[in-house]
């Protein structure tokens, strides 16, 4: 357990931590996991009710209700991330057609791996993404241990080539995190990596609680696209 924890810290910084504090910090991964499970079970009944109601609306435009996508987790292991479907059924084909015909959009995509005006997103999907409601099914990923409530933004396997740092792979991805409550979508993909490293160096139960308390205000502002 102690070795697992200090994989998150440069050795020269870990050596400076007092012995008593090291013992407390060594308990952090276990406490974090117990907290994740407890909060997820408390939220589950409310999340299931909301997901069920939204599923009926999503079905009106045809296609599946849920969307599963491969993401990279701790140690680079691939897992299936679950979301409410917010895109048209032929999303991949539509994206490539749009990027091939729009150089400005191609440059935006290469820099941020996102598009301000994404042609794949449905009208309902745009609203779900704006307030991050589409991510509610990821509570299942948290319960399974693929993710944590707080951690880096889950990364697509093909995005690994754009990620210049390594801290991400020492942690479980999170429903929310340092990047999500600070700059959110107002930074490049490479800058996102630096937020992950900042979190890795300062992560603690107190840090996680602060991020969780900041998250509702960010969600209400609707900056999620």
Q: Domain for residue 69, yes or no?
A: yes
CA–CA dist 21, 19 (Å, integer): 5
Lowest mean pLDDT among 80-84, 97-101, 188-192: 188-192
Do residues 200 and 10 touch, judged by C-beta distance below 8 A?
no
Q: Domain for residue 76, yes or no?
A: yes
Phi, psi angles (nearest 5°) of residue 66? -100, 155
Do residues 175 and 142 touch, judged by C-beta distance below 8 A?
yes
Give pTM, 2 decimals.
0.80
Mean pLDDT score, 133-162: 94
pLDDT bucket at 11, cuts 50 / 70 / 90 = very low
Strands 78-84 and 66-72: antiparallel
Lowest mean pLDDT among 1-5, 93-97, 169-173: 1-5
Mean pLDDT score, 187-195: 79
The SS3 assignment for 76 reads: helix
Q: Which of 96, 84, 153, 93 lies closest to 122, judged by CA?
A: 84
Q: Domain for residue 66, yes or no?
A: yes
**Boundaries of domain holding 201:** 2-86+121-220
Q: Domain for residue 201, yes or no?
A: yes
Q: Domain for residue 42, yes or no?
A: yes
- pLDDT greater than 70 at residue 5: no
In this predicted model, what pLDDT tens digit does every residue of 20-65 receive, in sequence order? 555 556 789 999 999 999 999 999 999 999 999 999 999 887 778 9
Q: Domain for residue 180, yes or no?
A: yes
Q: Domain for residue 177, yes or no?
A: yes
Token output for 206: 């107190």
Helix (H) or strand (E) holding 13: helix 11-14
DSSP 8-state code for residue 17: S
Determine what percent of the chain is predicted with pLDDT higher than 90: 45
> How many domains are contained in the chain?
1
Lowest mean pLDDT among 7-11, 165-169, 221-225: 7-11
CA–CA dist 128, 122 (Å, integer): 10
pLDDT bucket at 4, cuts 50 / 70 / 90 = very low
- CA 200 to mean position of chain CA atoms: 15
Q: Domain for residue 100, yes or no?
A: no
């Amino acid at each position: 357990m102690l070795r697992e924890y200090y994989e998150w810290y440069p050795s020269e910084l870990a050596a400076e931590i007092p012995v008593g504090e090291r013992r407390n910090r060594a308990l952090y991964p276990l406490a974090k996991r117990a907290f994740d499970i407890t909060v997820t079970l408390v939220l589950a009944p409310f999340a299931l009710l909301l997901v069920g109601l939204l599923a009926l609306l999503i079905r009106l435009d045809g296609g599946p209700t849920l969307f599963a996508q491969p993401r990279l987790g701790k140690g680079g292991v691939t897992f299936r991330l679950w979301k409410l479907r917010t895109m048209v059924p032929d999303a991949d084909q539509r994206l490539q057609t749009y990027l091939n015909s729009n150089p400005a959009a191609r440059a935006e995509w290469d820099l941020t791996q996102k598009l301000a005006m994404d042609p794949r997103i449905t009208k309902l999907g745009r609203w779900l993404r704006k307030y991050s409601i589409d991510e509610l099914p990821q509570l299942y990923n948290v319960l399974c241990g693929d993710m944590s409530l707080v951690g880096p933004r889950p990364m697509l396997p093909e995005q690994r080539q754009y990620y210049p740092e390594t801290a991400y792979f020492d942690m479980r991805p999170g429903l929310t995190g340092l990047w999500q409550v600070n700059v959110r979508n107002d930074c490049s993909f490479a800058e996102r990596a630096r937020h992950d490293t900042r979190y890795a160096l300062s992560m603690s139960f107190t840090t996680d609680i602060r991020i969780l308390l900041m998250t509702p205000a960010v969600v209400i502002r609707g900056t999620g696209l």
